[in-house]
Amino acid sequence: MLFFLDSAKLDEIDYAISHWRIDGITTNPRHLMNAGMTMEELIEKIKPIVEGTQISVSLEIDPHLNDPKIMVEQAKRLASLSENFVVKIPATEQGFVALEKLSTDGVKVNITLVFNILQALQAARLGAYYISLFVGWKEERGDFEKDFIATVVKAVKNYGFKSKILIAAVRNLRHFEEAALAGADIITAGFDVYKKGFEDPYVRIGLELFSDSWRKLYT
Ligand code: E4P
């Protein structure tokens, strides 16, 4: 399973690469806003960090676009800037038209804002590279679908589609558990979700206890 960081903040990205050996980065316009950077600024900073590595960076096209032709143009422009870039296209009808053209032309597409099985299957049929299931967003709106992740993973794998299932908007370790048990390919989570998981409070309690024993042994 691959671990991606869901952020556009360079300090978080640096930390996640050096401390957690993160496999990829996912960004969106809200992440850019939170990082106080335009897409162009992010691209300039992130290229030297990821080039020559296997780290993929998902970058989203302008969310205002709904003409597939213009979506394709913008996506191709972004994809041409680095081999590490994967272009995020929304799971709309227009987005799917753009996806078909882009995947035929060899552009790696991350279909984003996927909330149901039909969107996921369509993305797989049309050659999406990543299919991003927004599990956290669904649940935050009271749409808790038991076995949603497992169902989508099984459905897509059933037909041998090559798309990788990316579990997004991850809020807690239960999402990690569900994703891993379902055999999802990738999980993308925010900095704080990883930090909280890696800094489990029981570790600190354990280290205090063992330090105490160590001191008693050697003094
Ligand atoms: C994934 O690619 C998305 O950028 C992300 O998971 C969106 O969720 P957020 O609410 O954590 O920003």
User: Any idea which residues carry the catalytic annotation?
Assistant: 88
* CA 131/CA 140 separation, integer angstroms: 20
pLDDT at 144 over 90: no
Q: How far is CA 88 from CA 108, 148, 151, 170, 174, in A?
A: 9, 22, 23, 17, 25
Residues 75 and 102: beta-carbon distance below 8 Å: yes
Instruction: Select from 140, 95, 99, 86 the least CA-distant residue to 113.
Output: 95
pLDDT category of residue 146 using cuts at 50, 70 and 90: confident
pLDDT category of residue 218 using cuts at 50, 70 and 90: very high
Report whether residue 186 contacts ligand 1, using a CB cutoff of 6 Å: no
Q: Which atom of ligand 1 is nearest to the CA of 30?
A: 12
Report whether residue 188 contacts ligand 1, using a CB cutoff of 6 Å: yes
Residue type, 4: F
pLDDT in tens, 175-206: 999 999 999 999 999 999 999 999 999 999 99
Residue type, 68: P
Q: How far is CA 207 from CA 49, 191, 195, 196, in A?
A: 34, 24, 18, 17
Q: Which of 129, 134, 185 gets mutated to test ligand 1 (max ligand atoms within 8 A of its CB)? A: 134
pLDDT in tens, 66-115: 999 999 999 999 999 999 999 999 999 999 999 999 999 999 999 999 99
Report whether residue 84 contacts ligand 1, using a CB cutoff of 6 Å: no
Residues 186 and 1: beta-carbon distance below 8 Å: yes
98 φ/ψ angles, rounded to the nearest 5 degrees: -65, -40
Which stretch of 125-129, 143-147, 194-198 has the lowest confidence by average pLDDT?
143-147
Mean pLDDT of the region 23-35: 98
Q: Which of 25, 28, 133 gets mutated to test ligand 1 (max ligand atoms within 8 A of its CB)? A: 28
Q: Which atom of ligand 1 is nearest to the CA of 27?
A: 4
pLDDT at 4 over 90: yes
Its CATH class, for the domain covering 2-217, is alpha beta
Q: Where are the beta strands (DSSP E) in the chain?
A: 2-6, 24-26, 56-60, 85-90, 109-114, 130-134, 164-170, 186-189
Report whether residue 169 contacts ligand 1, using a CB cutoff of 6 Å: yes
Report whether residue 56 contacts ligand 1, using a CB cutoff of 6 Å: no
pLDDT in tens, 32-62: 999 999 999 999 999 999 999 999 999 999 9
Instruction: Select from 136, 127, 37 the least CA-distant residue to 87.
Output: 127
Q: Which residues contact 24 (CB under 8 A, 6 or more apart)?
A: 2, 4, 5, 55, 56, 57, 58, 186, 188
pTM score, two decimals?
Answer: 0.96
* CA 161/CA 157 separation, integer angstroms: 6
Q: How far is the CA of 211 from the centre of ligand 1 (A)?
A: 39
